Copies of this chain bind each other. A is one copy, B any other.
């Protein structure tokens, strides 16, 4: 990544650089309106509040994220009546963020764009028409939307959802994609009851960890499939401490009949797949007659292969889940109810997941880890200066 630190607009010496930033700023936005408006400087004298400039990770073209992203400083701007100014506290780097930058995600912001899709911030200023939020509130984009990898965001008040402040910022920053996906997949496909069993691959992922814990709270047992790895026993132990019923590496499932490994568990009625290839086939093998497999990721980049008899005689149902679809078809109140529930579990110590917090200025290093170029790491969460 080329790091382009642009000067503040008030510095005459950096005027040209600032102009360059401004021309980027003019274009940077999402479908819900630009974050920074070109007119901001000329109008500044009339505004009641001027939001500070914002340091942002932007990309002007699609490509490898470590090639096409760069840090810029977006200029100050004034606050409109219905807007709030939010200073970001934390924002994760999700696989979908990377896919958006690569240009392979089906929903992409117009270019140039600020990276990031979810995160949490603190309200620093309110437009005169703001009704619901107060200075100091913690808020997350509702629905999740583009441009969270920046220090300061100006957006309409109704684009934000207030969240409790009694959880670590890295949890509030990550609640709306992965834990929400885990919850929805447990609730929206099959009517589960205590004693039922679900099976999943990619169980160490953030969604996987949430599936284990949310299932455990419901009395639902989980069968967890993970990659073979050197620290297999440690990882198994960690997942079991979260409430995992059984944990198998893929090679441990190279048996004639995986169901012989069920022990006292019943055959799973629901399965989750975020890997594809063999790991998806293993989920299907565990499922019981009439069971459902929900695909929500494809980490192996391999397709899902299913026998004809799995459909006809085993009556398997194959579905997919995409958080964006849920968000598009539900109200902001429903979104708030869900995130409030999940963050309450976090506060009560009932929902934990591993993240690695990284200072925003170390974005480059965090991105390298998120890209998997240095092995496997926990979810990278950018932390902004307080």
Contacts and interface: CB of A to CB of B under 8 A. Distances in A.
Interface of A: 106, 276, 294-298, 303-322, 325
**Quick one: which of A296, A313, A321 has the most chain B CB within 10 A?**
A313
A303 B298 CA distance: 19
**Quick one: which of A305, A312, A316, A321 has the most chain B CB within 10 A?**
A312
Contacts of A310: 320
B317 A319 contact: yes
Contacts of A319: 311, 315, 317-318
**Quick one: which of A294, A315, A318, A322 has the most chain B CB within 10 A?**
A318
A40 to B, nearest CB: 36
Given A303-B307, A308-B295, A317 B318 contact: yes
Given A305-B303, A308-B295, A308-B303, A322 B313 contact: yes
Contacts of A297: 308, 312
A95 to B, nearest CB: 12
A380 B295 CA distance: 41
A294 B317 CA distance: 10
A311 B320 contact: yes
Contact of A305 (B305, B315, B322): B305
Nearest to A96: B312
A232 to B, nearest CB: 25
A316 B293 CA distance: 12
**Quick one: which of A310, A316, A317, A319 has the most chain B CB within 10 A?**
A319
Contact of A304 (B294, B311, B315, B320): B311
B308 A298 contact: yes
Nearest to A294: B311
Given A276-B308, A298-B308, A305-B304, A318 B318 contact: yes
Nearest to A105: B313
B311 A295 contact: yes
Nearest to A301: B308
Nearest to A104: B309
Nearest to A315: B320
Contacts of A305: 303-306
